[in-house]
């Protein structure tokens, strides 16, 4: 031990250098592995925390998976909106009873009902305060989504005279808008009890038809005007006039309708899956006991036997739109004549022909009309509409494009019995179509209790009776990083993907509008029970797929699943496998561990949106990738650290060849020499480990690593083990040296002299003359650059594997610091090893340098010689490492370099250049020190 301490005191510089190397290597290894472990733990924790979504398995009808979904492993965010049936109730019941299933929640889309309402616009500020009678007109423009639509003109008639009620003598015709006015002989016959009905003709009969071919315009009656030749999108058809009596206050009720998607669910399963019961805002929750019912004739309102189904209604329309209207004050002429002009069959022509003066503009949100509709207690199901899915294709740049559908046919909006156009069809249906829309007309036996003749065997269509209302914002929350489509309650999240589209959308999301064939369809806003399906689907005149297979999707939560651990994955896969085995044609998607993956979708050449599709299996891919990357990081950092110390220890032994030879001549055995060298390394390792413990604790605290104190204690044993492991080969080589071999100069002469014409040429010759030393110096740097190349490729591959989904992006952001730290320190350690070998080499060749100085070489030439050797060594190691790193990455396969080959190769070359610059800069210190020593001293030392 005394000999060891004495040797360390005598060679303090070399001992301190070796201690510094052990300190750097041990501390770096401990910190890097701790950082990698922390990064992995953070990543795994993030994945496990967000891996569980609302459901684990999604079951859809046969052929429901699109080519895009199949090729890319994605699930459309609006898959449910275009699916109306395909799974039978027997299939659902059998799946619900399978082992391992905790909740099986079905959704059976029935169809879109049209709910009529009005949007009230206050135009009081535009009134003429002096006029006794006046008419205001608004000309609205609807803005919804990416389109704008001109809607029908709407009017308000305001009179200071009272509007009274009255009925015809036979009590058949009644009105609440009767008013006295100046009598025109030609209009006298249209009076009712001496007054004119100022609203009937404009609102209910614009036809100006004659009565019984007598060339006399029809008087007010209950027979509806003939609209069989009119289009549902005829603006005049939907023009309305409000007739009001008063002063200073006037409103216009704009008629609107809302498509309400009616879907059937299992109340108990839905409550367990998403907590629907907790979202009820009024009334009550649906229950298993809620079934269709029929009222007896004594209590029926609409017929002999009225049928009803129970339902919940959303408190929000989930569709968007804004009306902006110009307001005009019309020039009506003599106000006294207005009642007679409005109270006869030419009222519509008269009002439309009036000149107007623009007095301002108004705006109103369409959602206000939907809230009015909530006051209704029943909804008619006379007609409902279903829509098909959106068809996608991949574009050349990897995005998605939507295939447009033909415009809606006029027959789509025709009422069932009278072949009259449906009133107040949303104007958006005239816009671009991305889905096929189908009308389902009901039977012609409403209120009869049974159907015969052409509708024999079918059922009368029921009415909807609301039992409660719910707010989708109150539903149980799920992690945004693992969100799966909850189209039963959420609208698809669609935003503009380019500045032009965002400008059209006014930097707001693209929300569903009232266009049934539109791209973003609203989710179900009315829910009924599974027992009510038959009452709806069997009441259609023409049978459809919904008769036999009404269920659109089944969302399954598997029992015992806590995340993406091995046991949970096995349980989910077992359930999915059992469903596939029982029903091979059904589409079964495992959604556990999924995450939203934004996709760019081209709706048209000028409109591009970003939509949150769902990528399946994201969590599992991330865990696999992070395990691979962590293992490679650990091994590469360990190898770089060990090689760095091995080089330093070998250089230390080589610098003591003469001393070792002297000890052998004095009788020391090889074992004693071995113990001496390892003893010195052990003492140096313990000292460096003690200092490294303090340094690692300080650095760990600065980097915010959890458990920095416990991890820093690992530096001491790591330093000792690494020092001994790295010194085994150099100590063994020292023990094998014979007395004469040990004192022989380490640098051998060249076998044949070669003429050298430049300093660079001599540097190359020196590198070739001592190939072992050159390869040893280049090895550390080569490994450092190779490690850099491999780590960079794995990092990019990991990000490519994980990125593209919200969960993956979050994980990539967390893992970035550890990746860069590992890459940088592995490269620095490799370069440090090469520099150490170069410094020892210069000391070994001190005599050669002295001879060159004595023969006339200048300090600058000697410096350039050393610098050229360093550059050559660095380039050899760097380029070799770059090639080796690329070969290692290629051998890993699985597309690690896919899309990153040029980036990784360029980075490897940059790392080589950086290592060369680092080596060159570090050599300036020994070059300057060596130039200050006189040749005589160098030769004397030798």
List residues bridging with 55 in a β-sheet. none
**Sorting pLDDT into bands at 50, 70 and 90, what band is 807?**
very low
Q: Which residues of 473-487 are buried (b: 16+ CB within 10 A; e: fewer)?
A: eebeebbebbbbbbb
What average pLDDT score do residues 199-221 get?
76
Q: According to the per-residue pLDDT averaged within each range, which of 74-78, 132-136, 254-258 is highest?
A: 132-136
Burial, 185: exposed, middle or buried (Cβ in 10 Å; 0-12, 13-18, 19+)? exposed
What average pLDDT score do residues 760-782 get?
71
Give the pairing type, strands 526-529 and 251-265.
Answer: parallel
DSSP symbol at 560: T
DSSP letter for each residue of 654-675: HTTHHHHHHHHHTT--HHHHHH
pLDDT value at residue 185? 81
**Sorting pLDDT into bands at 50, 70 and 90, what band is 303?**
low
The residue among 493, 28, 424, 47 whose CA lies nearest residue 233 is 424
Give the pairing type, strands 174-179 and 196-197.
Answer: antiparallel
How far, in Å, CA of 596 to CA of 790, rounded? 30
Is pLDDT above 70 for 804? no
Is pLDDT above 60 for 406? yes
pLDDT value at residue 263? 94
How far, in Å, CA of 701 to CA of 509, rounded? 44
pLDDT value at residue 634? 62
**Sorting pLDDT into bands at 50, 70 and 90, what band is 481?**
very low
Question: Is the Cβ–Cβ distance between 199 and 240 less than 8 Å?
Answer: no
pLDDT value at residue 338? 94
pLDDT value at residue 884? 81
DSSP symbol at 406: P
Question: Is the Cβ–Cβ distance between 89 and 551 less than 8 Å?
Answer: yes
Q: Other C-beta atoms within 10 Å of 687: how many?
A: 18
Percent of the chain predicted with pLDDT > 90 = 27
Burial, 247: exposed, middle or buried (Cβ in 10 Å; 0-12, 13-18, 19+)? exposed
Burial, 111: exposed, middle or buried (Cβ in 10 Å; 0-12, 13-18, 19+)? buried
pLDDT value at residue 483? 47
615 φ, ψ (degrees, to nearest 5): -90, 130
Q: Map tokens 């999915």 to a residue.
A: 576
pLDDT value at residue 196? 93
Structure tokens at 313: 């209604």
pTM over 0.75: no
**Sorting pLDDT into bands at 50, 70 and 90, what band is 418?**
low
609 Cβ partners below 8 Å, 6+ apart? 494, 495, 496, 497, 501, 510, 600, 601, 603
Is pLDDT above 50 for 405? yes
pLDDT value at residue 810? 46
Question: Is the Cβ–Cβ distance between 385 and 438 less than 8 Å?
Answer: yes
**Sorting pLDDT into bands at 50, 70 and 90, what band is 752?**
low
Is pLDDT above 90 for 160? yes
Higher pLDDT, 187 or 796: 187
Question: Is the Cβ–Cβ distance between 551 and 108 less than 8 Å?
Answer: yes
What average pLDDT score do residues 773-789 get?
73
Q: Which long-range contacts (CB under 8 A, 24 or more apart) does 771-778 make?
A: 773/837, 773/841, 774/873, 774/876, 776/647, 776/650, 776/837, 777/647, 777/833, 777/834, 777/837, 777/838, 777/841, 777/873, 777/877, 778/834, 778/873, 778/874, 778/876, 778/877, 778/880
171 φ, ψ (degrees, to nearest 5): 65, 15
Give the pairing type, strands 280-283 and 463-470.
Answer: antiparallel
What average pLDDT score do residues 745-751 get?
51
Higher pLDDT, 497 or 730: 497
Q: How far is CA 747 from CA 114, 338, 772, 775, 846, in A?
A: 96, 121, 11, 15, 11
The per-residue pLDDT for range 442-476, each reduced to its tens digit, is 888 877 777 888 888 899 889 899 999 998 877 76
Is pLDDT above 70 for 304? yes
How far, in Å, CA of 1 to CA of 680, rounded? 9
- The mean of the pLDDT values for the chain is 78
Is pLDDT above 60 for 753? no
Q: Map tokens 């550390």 to a residue.
A: 780
Percent of the chain predicted with pLDDT > 70 = 68
CA angle, residues 838, 839, 842, in degrees to nearest 5: 85
Structure tokens at 891: 């051998």
**Sorting pLDDT into bands at 50, 70 and 90, what band is 935?**
low
List residues bridging with 245 in a β-sheet. 159
Q: According to the per-residue pLDDT averaged within each range, which of 426-435, 786-795, 923-932 is highest?
A: 426-435
Structure tokens at 636: 């590469």
CA angle, residues 472, 113, 515, in degrees to nearest 5: 80
pLDDT value at residue 61? 93
The per-residue pLDDT for range 352-403, each reduced to its tens digit, is 999 999 999 999 998 888 877 766 665 778 889 999 999 998 888 878 999 9
pLDDT value at residue 682? 77
Structure tokens at 681: 């390394």
607 φ, ψ (degrees, to nearest 5): -125, 115
Assign 588 to helix, strand or coil. strand
Higher pLDDT, 261 or 721: 261
Higher pLDDT, 609 or 905: 609
pLDDT value at residue 298? 72
Residue 606: how many CA atoms within 13 Å on its side-chain side?
A: 6
Is pLDDT above 50 for 832? yes
- Cα dihedral value 351, 355, 357, 361, nearest 10: 40
**Sorting pLDDT into bands at 50, 70 and 90, what band is 316?**
confident
What average pLDDT score do residues 845-867 get?
72
Is pLDDT above 50 for 863? yes
Is pLDDT above 60 for 484? no
How far, in Å, CA of 787 to CA of 794, rounded? 10
Residue 749: how many CA atoms within 13 Å on its side-chain side?
A: 6
- Cα dihedral value 849, 852, 854, 857, nearest 10: -110
The per-residue pLDDT for range 866-911, each reduced to its tens digit, is 777 778 877 888 888 888 877 777 765 555 555 667 777 777 787 7
pLDDT value at residue 806? 43
Higher pLDDT, 942 or 83: 83
For residue 158, what is the enclosing H or E element?
strand 154-159
Q: How far is CA 771 from CA 264, 459, 774, 778, in A?
A: 81, 96, 5, 10
How far, in Å, CA of 638 to CA of 722, rounded? 9
Question: Is the Cβ–Cβ distance between 233 and 430 less than 8 Å?
Answer: yes
Q: Which residues of 808-821 are buried (b: 16+ CB within 10 A; e: fewer)?
A: bbbbbeebeebbeb
Burial, 48: exposed, middle or buried (Cβ in 10 Å; 0-12, 13-18, 19+)? middle
Lowest-pLDDT choice from 21-35, 135-149, 710-724, 895-909: 21-35
Give the pairing type, strands 463-470 and 307-314.
Answer: parallel
Q: How far is CA 22 from CA 396, 643, 687, in A?
A: 54, 11, 9
Structure tokens at 260: 């309400």
DSSP symbol at 551: B
pLDDT value at residue 233? 86
Higher pLDDT, 102 or 852: 102
421 Cβ partners below 8 Å, 6+ apart? 227, 230, 231, 232, 234, 237, 410, 413, 414, 415
What average pLDDT score do residues 670-690 get?
74
The per-residue pLDDT for range 562-606, each reduced to its tens digit, is 766 777 778 888 898 999 999 999 998 887 766 667 888 999 988
What average pLDDT score do residues 47-53 get?
53
DSSP letter for each residue of 108-128: EEEEEEEEEEEEEEE-GGGS-
105 Cβ partners below 8 Å, 6+ apart? 55, 265, 266, 269, 270, 272, 273, 554, 555, 556, 557
Is pLDDT above 70 for 306? yes
Q: Map tokens 């701790």 to a residue.
A: 34
Give the pairing type, strands 526-529 and 307-314.
Answer: antiparallel
How far, in Å, CA of 342 to CA of 128, rounded? 19
Is pLDDT above 70 for 844? no
How far, in Å, CA of 241 to CA of 138, rounded? 11
**Sorting pLDDT into bands at 50, 70 and 90, what band is 837?**
low
The residue among 162, 148, 327 whose CA lies nearest residue 244 is 162
What average pLDDT score do residues 496-508 get?
90
Q: How far is CA 233 from CA 59, 316, 369, 412, in A?
A: 39, 26, 20, 11
pLDDT value at residue 385? 94
pLDDT value at residue 805? 47
The residue among 863, 817, 811, 815 whose CA lies nearest residue 842 is 863
What average pLDDT score do residues 211-218 get?
64
192 Cβ partners below 8 Å, 6+ apart? 166, 167, 168, 173, 175, 178, 220
Is pLDDT above 60 for 42? no
**Sorting pLDDT into bands at 50, 70 and 90, what band is 487?**
very low
DSSP letter for each residue of 41-95: HHHHHHHHHH---S-SEEEE-TT-S-HHHHHHTEE-TTTGGG----B-HHHHHHH
The residue among 11, 74, 89, 10 whose CA lies nearest residue 534 is 89
Is pLDDT above 70 for 55? yes
The residue among 233, 167, 173 whose CA lies nearest residue 205 is 173
Question: Is the Cβ–Cβ distance between 142 and 325 less than 8 Å?
Answer: no
């Amino acid at each position: 031990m005394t000999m060891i301490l004495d040797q360390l005191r005598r060679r303090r510089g070399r001992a301190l250098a070796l201690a510094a190397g052990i300190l750097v290597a041990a501390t770096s290894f401990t910190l890097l592995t701790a950082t990698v472990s922390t990064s992995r733990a953070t990543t795994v924790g993030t994945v496990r925390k967000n891996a569980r979504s609302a459901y684990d398995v999604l079951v859809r009808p046969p052929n429901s998976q699109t080519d895009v979904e199949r090729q890319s492993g994605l699930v459309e965010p609006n898959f449910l909106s275009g699916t109306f049936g395909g799974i039978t109730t027997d299939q659902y019941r059998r799946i619900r009873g399978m082992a391992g299933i905790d909740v099986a929640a079905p959704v059976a889309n029935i169809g879109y009902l049209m709910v009529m309402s009005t949007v009230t616009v206050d135009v009081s500020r535009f009134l003429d305060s002096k006029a006794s009678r006046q008419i205001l007109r608004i000309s609205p423009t609807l803005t919804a989504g990416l389109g704008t639509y001109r809607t029908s003109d709407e009017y308000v008639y305001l009179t200071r005279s009272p509007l009274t009620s009255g009925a015809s003598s036979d009590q058949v015709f009644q009105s609440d808008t009767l008013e006295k006015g100046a009598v025109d002989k030609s209009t006298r016959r249209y009076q009712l009890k001496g007054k004119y009905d100022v609203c009937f003709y404009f609102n209910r009969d614009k036809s100006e038809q004659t009565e019984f071919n007598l060339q006399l315009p029809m008087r007010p009656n209950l027979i509806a005007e003939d609209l069989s030749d009119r289009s549902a999108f005829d603006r005049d058809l939907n023009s309305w006039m409000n007739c009001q009596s008063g002063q200073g206050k006037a409103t216009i009720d704009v008629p609107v309708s809302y498509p309400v998607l009616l879907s059937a669910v299992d109340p108990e399963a839905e409550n367990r899956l998403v907590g629907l019961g907790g979202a009820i805002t009024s009334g009550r929750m649906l229950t298993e006991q809620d079934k269709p019912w029929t009222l007896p004739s004594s209590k029926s309102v609409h017929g002999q036997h009225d049928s009803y189904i129970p339902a919940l209604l959303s408190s929000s329309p989930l569709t968007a739109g804004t009306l902006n209207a110009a307001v005009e004050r019309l020039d009506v002429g003599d106000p006294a004549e207005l009642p007679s002009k409005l109270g006869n069959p030419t009222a519509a022509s008269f009002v439309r022909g009036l000149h107007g003066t623009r007095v301002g503009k108004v705006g109103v949100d369409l959602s206000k009309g939907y809230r009015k509709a909530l006051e209704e207690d029943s909804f008619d199901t006379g007609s409902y509409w279903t829509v098909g899915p959106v068809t996608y294709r991949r574009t050349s740049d990897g995005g998605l494009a939507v295939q447009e559908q033909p415009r809606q046919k006029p027959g789509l909006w025709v009422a069932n019995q009278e072949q009259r156009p449906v009133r107040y069809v949303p104007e958006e249906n005239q816009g671009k179509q991305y889905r096929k829309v189908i009308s389902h007309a009901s039977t012609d036996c409403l209120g009869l209790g049974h159907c015969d003749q052409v509708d024999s065997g079918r059922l009368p269509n029921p009415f909807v009776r609301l039992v409660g209302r719910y707010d989708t914002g109150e539903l149980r929350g799920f992690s945004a990083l693992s969100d799966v489509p909850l189209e039963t309650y959420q609208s698809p999240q669609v935003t503009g993907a380019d500045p032009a589209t965002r400008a059209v959308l006014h930097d707001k999301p693209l929300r569903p509008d009232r266009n049934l064939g539109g791209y973003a369809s609203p989710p179900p806003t009315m829910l009924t029970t599974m027992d009510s399906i038959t009452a709806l689907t069997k009441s259609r005149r023409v049978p459809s797929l919904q008769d036999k297979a009404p269920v659109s999707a089944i969302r399954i939560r598997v029992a015992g699943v806590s995340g993406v651990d091995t046991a949970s994955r096995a349980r989910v896969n077992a359930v999915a496998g059992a469903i596939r085995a029982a029903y091979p044609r059904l589409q079964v998607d495992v959604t556990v561990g999924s995450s939203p993956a934004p996709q760019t979708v081209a709706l048209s050449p000028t409109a591009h949106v970003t939509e949150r599709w769902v990528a399946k299996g994201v969590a599992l891919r991330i865990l696999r990738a992070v395990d691979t990357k962590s293992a490679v990081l650990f091994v590469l950092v360990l190898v770089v650290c060990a090689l760095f110390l091995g080089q330093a220890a070998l250089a230390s032994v080589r610098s003591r060849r003469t001393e070792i030879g002297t000890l052998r001549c004095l009788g020391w055995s090889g074992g004693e020499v071995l113990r001496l060298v390892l003893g010195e390394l052990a003492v140096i390792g313990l000292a460096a480990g003690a200092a490294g413990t303090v340094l690692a604790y300080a650095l760990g605290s600065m980097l915010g690593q959890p458990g920095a104190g416990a991890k820093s204690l690992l530096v001491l044993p790591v330093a000792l083990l690494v020092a001994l492991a790295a010194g085994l080969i150099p100590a063994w080589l020292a023990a094998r040296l014979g007395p004469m071999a040990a004192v022989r100069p380490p640098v051998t002469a060249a076998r044949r002299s070669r003429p050298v014409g430049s300093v660079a040429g001599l540097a190359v010759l020196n590198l070739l003359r001592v190939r072992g030393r050159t390869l040893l110096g280049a090895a550390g740097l080569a490994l450092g650059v190779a490690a850099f190349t491999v780590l960079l490729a794995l990092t990019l591959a990991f990000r490519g594997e994980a990125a593209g989904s919200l969960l993956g992006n979050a994980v990539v952001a967390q893992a970035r610091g550890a990746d860069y730290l590992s890459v940088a320190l592995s490269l620095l350690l490799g370069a440090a090893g090469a520099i150490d070998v170069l410094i020892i080499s210069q000391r070994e060749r001190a005599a050669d340098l002295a001879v060159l100085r004595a023969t006339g070489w200048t300090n600058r030439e000697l410096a350039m010689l050393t610098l050229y050797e360093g550059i050559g060594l660095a380039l050899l190691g760097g380029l070799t490492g770059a090639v080796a790193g690329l070969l290692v990455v290629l051998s890993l396969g699985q597309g690690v370099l896919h899309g990153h080959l040029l980036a990784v190769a360029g980075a490897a070359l940059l790392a080589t250049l950086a290592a060369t610059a680092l080596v060159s800069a570090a050599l300036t210190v020994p070059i300057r020190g060596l130039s200050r020593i006189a040749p005589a001293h160098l030769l004397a030392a030798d």
